């Protein structure tokens, strides 16, 4: 008996030690980069899900970079069983990434779709059977990504079409049968994005039955019969890789019934093809066009549809493409709506014999026309363009209204809106830290950039908020906070040159001028520009302006806009890469937020985006300020105005992100902010 105890005792001790060590490893030693996990047990999966998801940036071609504020990313996993997938279901996240899985059986798929997520990435799957497809179709999120699947039979397609979300991605398909095409077209979501090497008539007939946005990749050549068939599609149609367009195919596609037709890979059109495609009635995207002969220009100018986008070709006008009356008419076709914005960077002069006629044509544009590099102009042309206050000529104003100036920095501040006198430019400290900011109100953007000198150069940290314009039907906007953080290195001599340019801007003294005979301009373009240069001891430069672009406000925004333009030009071409913020950088972002928030000059939309941005890049140091926003009571007996309400909503979301404690009503975009803000205020008090 004693011998047995002596034998068993070491075994028991070893087992206890092992279990304790295993438990500690599961609880405390989870890797920071969860994509390094190659295998996983159910217990490990549960603990990983309970730890809480992390922010992940995912780039999707054609959509840009998605910032999933909460994401369970396990791309390193090579296999997953049903029991482990079921353990992951406790996770509540924006997205689940399992791109390392090459196969998923039906039981695992059933367990996996029970996870509470909006997006499911399974781009490593190369095949999918009917039962697995049927299980995945029960996923309750909005997007299902299966970009590794190369073949899809009709039965699996029919099962997958039962998905109740918004988007299915099948960008890895090599072929698709007519039966599978007809089956997948029964999907009733918003978008179907797939690839195939060729599109025949029978497959086109099937896909045409899809009612949403149809994106077809891989097809570089299209036959007329297939074009006729796919033209029956009633939704938006996008041929991503179609490189050429014959007149017959163009005529067929012009008969599409959808709201938009995208042919962005087409680089040129002959006159017959241009005439045919110009009959399309919706929004036509030909962004990749780089060359059009005179006959094709004349033909495309007959476009009468909702919108024509040919930005690639417009960039060549005045350079590789001559500016003529016909190209001017084509420009006006592109600028045919009040919300359109057309830029012609190649136009530098309007002083040729036909410039007056061209200018009269330009003056008929309904949208915004920008001629950023126009420097010289005839009086007749100026008089014609002056009749349209939506035509922007910033470089012309700087050259034509004052004595010639050779310094390119000084040229940025020449205008007929004010007089400029120059004093001696200061010598800015090479170790000074520069911050710039800019954004566009209607464009949904806002950005911060910091230039931080160091021993090995200048670190450029870029924080960019880019929401765009997305209509929504909920009480509040969806909680997206689309912020991208990148960084790059800059040589010290390049930074020194930038500081010298900013010193020139600082040396400008602007004075208003009388306006007799002056063509006053205004715009719906609302923007924000900001530049601040500091050392440990003092602030060397502090410029801040927000409002609507126009000649009457130019005196105030000229210097901050020039400073921002110079800074952006200085970092153009740097190798920016995705960047994870350090604690010190988050602290800086919070300090900047507090300083700017308590200062002046932040328009309502700037303040809204400041809060959304700090929720992603800040730390808990900003909680007191967010608490002040939440503590502000609405006027007695009156609802908050729209921006005030959104400030409270965004502050609630920011506190939730920073504290990682969610007390919000669900769904978030329908919550009662007056009730929830009181809960969040209690949460902030507990943090003190």
Q: Which residues of 227-242 are buried (b: 16+ CB within 10 A; e: fewer)?
A: bbbbbebebbbbbbeb
The segment with the largest mean pLDDT, out of 129-133, 348-352, 413-417, 660-664, is: 129-133
Quote the CA–CA distance of 372 and 148 in Å, as a whole number. 44
SS3 state of residue 181: helix
Residues 424 and 466 grouped into a single domain: yes
Q: Which residues pair with 445 in a beta bridge?
A: 440, 466
pLDDT at 522 over 90: no
pLDDT at 50 over 90: no
In a domain, 176, yes or no: no
Q: Using DSSP, how many helices (H) and how many strands (E) does the chain show?
A: 25, 28
Residues 488 and 592 grouped into a single domain: no
pLDDT digits (tens, 9 = 90+) for 2-21: 454 454 554 444 444 444 34
Quote the CA–CA distance of 549 and 320 in Å, as a whole number. 31
Boundary-marking domain end, from 530, 563, 579: 579
In a domain, 520, yes or no: yes
Boundary-marking domain end, from 538, 560, 579: 579
In a domain, 255, yes or no: no
Number of compact structural domains in the chain: 3
Residues 523 and 613 grouped into a single domain: no
Residues 575 and 598 grouped into a single domain: no
pLDDT of residue 56: 63
Boundary-marking domain end, from 525, 547, 579: 579
User: Strand runs (DSSP E) across 74-162, as ranges?
Assistant: 95-97, 119-121, 143-145
pLDDT digits (tens, 9 = 90+) for 203-251: 999 999 999 999 999 999 999 999 999 999 999 999 999 999 999 999 9
pLDDT digits (tens, 9 = 90+) for 599-657: 866 889 999 999 999 999 999 999 999 999 999 888 777 788 888 899 999 999 999 99
Could you check whether the bond before residue 667 is cis, i.e. omega within 30 degrees of 0? Answer: yes
In a domain, 664, yes or no: yes
Residues 531 and 462 grouped into a single domain: yes
pLDDT digits (tens, 9 = 90+) for 152-177: 999 999 999 999 999 999 999 999 99
In a domain, 367, yes or no: no
Residues 606 and 466 grouped into a single domain: no
Mean pLDDT within 62-70: 62
Residues 485 and 605 grouped into a single domain: no
In a domain, 166, yes or no: no
**Average per-residue pLDDT in the chain?**
88
Residues 446 and 564 grouped into a single domain: yes
pLDDT at 313 over 90: yes
pLDDT of residue 55: 66
Helices (H), 348-483: 355-362, 379-385, 394-400, 408-411
Residues 604 and 673 grouped into a single domain: yes
In a domain, 548, yes or no: yes
> CA triplet 644, 648, 650: central angle to 5 degrees?
110
Residues 468 and 542 grouped into a single domain: yes
User: Is the pTM value of this prediction over 0.85?
Assistant: no
Domain that holds residue 661: 582-688
Residues 507 and 591 grouped into a single domain: no
Residues 573 and 593 grouped into a single domain: no
């Amino acid at each position: 008996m004693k011998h047995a105890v002596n034998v068993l005792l070491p075994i028991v001790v070893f087992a206890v030690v092992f279990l304790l060590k295993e438990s500690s490893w599961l609880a405390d030693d989870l890797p920071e980069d969860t994509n390094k996990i190659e295998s996983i047990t159910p217990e490990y999966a549960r603990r990983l899900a309970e730890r809480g998801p992390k922010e992940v940036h995912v780039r999707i071609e054609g959509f840009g970079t998605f910032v999933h504020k909460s994401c369970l990313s396990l791309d390193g996993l090579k296999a997953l069983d049903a029991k482990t997938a079921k353990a992951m279901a406790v996770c509540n996240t924006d997205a689940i990434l399992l791109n390392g899985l090459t196969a998923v059986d039906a039981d695992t798929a059933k367990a996996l779709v029970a996870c509470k997520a909006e997006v499911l990435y399974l781009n490593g799957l190369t095949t999918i059977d009917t039962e697995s497809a049927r299980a995945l179709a029960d996923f309750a999120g909005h997007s299902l990504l299966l970009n590794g699947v190369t073949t899809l039979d009709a039965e699996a397609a029919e099962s997958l079409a039962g998905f109740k979300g918004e988007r299915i991605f099948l960008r890895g398909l090599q072929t698709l049968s007519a039966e599978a095409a007809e089956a997948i077209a029964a999907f009733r979501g918003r978008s179907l994005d797939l690839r195939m090497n060729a599109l025949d008539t029978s497959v086109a007939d099937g896909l045409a039955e899809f009612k949403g946005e149809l994106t077809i990749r891989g097809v570089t050549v299209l036959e007329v019969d297939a074009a006729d068939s796919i033209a029956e599609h009633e939704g938006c149609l996008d041929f991503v890789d179609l490189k050429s367009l014959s007149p017959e195919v163009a005529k067929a596609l012009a008969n599409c019934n959808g709201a938009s037709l995208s042919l962005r890979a087409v680089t040129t059109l002959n006159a017959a093809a241009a005439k045919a495609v110009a009959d399309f009635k919706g929004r036509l995207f030909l962004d990749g066009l780089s060359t059009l002969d005179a006959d094709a220009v004349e033909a495309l100018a007959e476009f009468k549809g909702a919108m024509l986008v040919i930005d690639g070709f417009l960039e060549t006008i005045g350079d590789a493409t001559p500016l003529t009356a016909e190209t001017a008419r084509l420009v006006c076709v592109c600028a045919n709506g009040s919300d359109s914005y057309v830029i012609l960077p190649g136009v530098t002069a309007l002083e040729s014999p036909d410039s007056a006629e061209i200018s009269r044509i330009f003056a008929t544009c309904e949208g915004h026309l920008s001629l950023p590099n126009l420097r010289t102009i005839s009086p007749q042309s100026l008089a014609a363009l002056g009749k349209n206050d939506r035509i922007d000529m910033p470089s012309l104003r700087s050259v034509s209204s004052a004595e010639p100036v050779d310094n390119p920095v000084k040229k940025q501040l020449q205008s007929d809106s004010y007089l400029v006198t120059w004093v001696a430019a200061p010598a800015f400290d090479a170790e000074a830290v520069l911050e710039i900011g800019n954004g566009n109100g209607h464009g949904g953007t806002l950005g911060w950039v910091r230039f931080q000198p160091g021993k090995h150069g200048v670190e450029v940290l870029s924080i960019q908020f880019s929401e765009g314009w997305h209509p929504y039907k909920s009480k509040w906007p969806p909680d997206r906070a689309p912020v991208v953080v990148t960084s790059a290195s800059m040589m010290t001599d390049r930074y020194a040159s930038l500081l010298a340019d900013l010193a020139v801007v600082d040396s400008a003294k602007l004075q208003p001028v009388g306006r007799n005979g002056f063509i006053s301009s205004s715009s719906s373009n609302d923007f924000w520009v900001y530049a601040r240069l500091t050392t440990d001891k003092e602030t060397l430069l502090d410029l801040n302006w927000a409002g609507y672009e126009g000649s009457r406000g130019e005196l105030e925004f000229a210097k901050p806009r020039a400073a921002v333009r110079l800074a952006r030009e200085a970092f153009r071409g740097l190798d920016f890469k995705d960047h994870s913020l350090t604690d010190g950088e988050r602290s800086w972002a919070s300090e900047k937020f507090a300083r700017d928030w308590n200062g002046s000059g932040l328009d309502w939309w700037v303040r809204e985006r400041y809060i959304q941005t700090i929720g992603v890049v800040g730390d808990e140091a900003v909680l007191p300020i967010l608490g002040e926003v939440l503590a502000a009571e609405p006027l007695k007996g009156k609802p908050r105005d729209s921006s005030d309400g959104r400030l409270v909503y965004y502050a609630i979301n920011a506190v939730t992100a920073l504290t990682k404690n969610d007390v919000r009503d669900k769904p978030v975009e329908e919550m009662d902010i007056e009730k929830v803000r009181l809960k969040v205020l209690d949460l902030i008090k507990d943090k003190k």
